[in-house]
Amino acid sequence: MQAHDSILGAIGNTPAVWLDRIVASRGLNGRILAKLDYLNPGFSKKDRAALGIVEEAERNGSLKPGQTVVELTSGNMGTGLAIVCSVKGYPFVAVMSRGNSPERARMMGALGAEVVLVDQCEGSIPGEVSGGDLSKVDDVATQITVDRGAFRADQFHRLGNPDAHANSTAPEIWEQSGGTLDAFVDFAGSGGTYTGTIRGLKAVKPEIRGYIVEPDGAAVISKQALTRLNHPIQGGGYAMPDLAFLERAPIDGTLIVTGEEAREATRALAKEEGIFAGFSSGANLAAALQLLAGELSRMTIAIVICDSGLKYLSTDLWD
C-alpha cells in the first residue's frame, strides 16, 4: 500500500466487523455488520461529509481560496472540517454548544480550529444538547459567517454531505457484507449519512430496508409527541422534523431507543466486541437488535460506528 499525499487520503475505506458475539449472546438470529467509521482520522464518520462538502464547494466556486469556513457542530463535523481545512489552507471556526463534551472542543483547537462555545438554554443539562441549544449555536454561526464574509459549511443542506456517503460509505458496506445486506439503520443527526448510504445501497439492491433511529422523547420523525428535549445521545436527535435530506430519502421505518438503551449497547460494544465507540453507535446497535428480535429476525443489518468513545470520557457513558 502506497503512502497518501496527505491525511485526507486516509478518510474512508474503513474496516467493518460482524457483531456475531453480541447477537449470539442475546439468543438472536441474524447478523449485524458494524462499519468502523470511528477509525477515520478525526475519529468519526463526519470526516467523509466534511471532505465532501469542502470539495463540492471548491468545484462549484462557492468556497474561495483562503476563505474562512464556519460551521455549527457537536464536535464531529467540526473535527472533520478542522482536518480538511488545515490541509487545504482555509481558516476554520467551529461553533459548538457548551453542552457537548469538552474533549471535542480541545481536539478541534489542537487541529487549528478557532472554537466558539455557546451557552446552553436555561434549564438545559450539560451533556444533553437540545434543539433549543442547537438553535442558539446556529444563530452564532450565522452571525460569524456574515461578519467574516465566510463560507458556511451547512452540513444540514449541502449535498456534499450525503453524496460523500452515497459514493463511499454505501459501496464499502455493500462489498464488506459480501452483498448480503437486508437493512441499514442509522441515528438521525443531519440525516446525511442515512440519506447517502441508503440511496447508494438501494441503487444496487432496491429491496434493502432503511430505518431511522431517534431518541425516546424526541422522536418527531416517528410522529411521536415531543416530551423530552434533552437526551444523552450527542450529535443528533434534536427534534427537527424537517431535516432537508430526509425529505428526499427513502425511509422504510423508524426506531426509538432510550438513552439508557444506547448507553448499555455502547458499553456492550466495548466489553463484548472490543469496539470503543460513542453514544450514537450504541443507539444504532440497540435499534438493530430490536429489528433482529422482531420483524428482521434471521436477516443481515448494517450499522455505522459513528465516533470514538474517547470523545465521551468526561460524560457518564463510562461511569
Residue numbers annotated as active site: 46, 280
**279, 307 Cβ separation under 8 angstroms:** no
DSSP string over 215-284: ETT--TTTT-----S--S-TTS----TT-HHHHTS---EEEEE-HHHHHHHHHHHHHHH---B-HHHHHH
Select from 118, 150, 131, 89 the least CA-distant residue to 237: 131
What amino acid occupies position 26?
R
C-alpha cell at 48: 467523509
Distance CA 121, CA 85 (A): 30
Q: Sheet harboring 114-118: ordered strands across? A: 114-118, 92-97, 69-72, 151-152
Neighbouring-strand partners of residue 300: 31
Distance CA 82, CA 105 (A): 11
Distance CA 269, CA 177 (A): 19
Eight-class DSSP state of 125: B
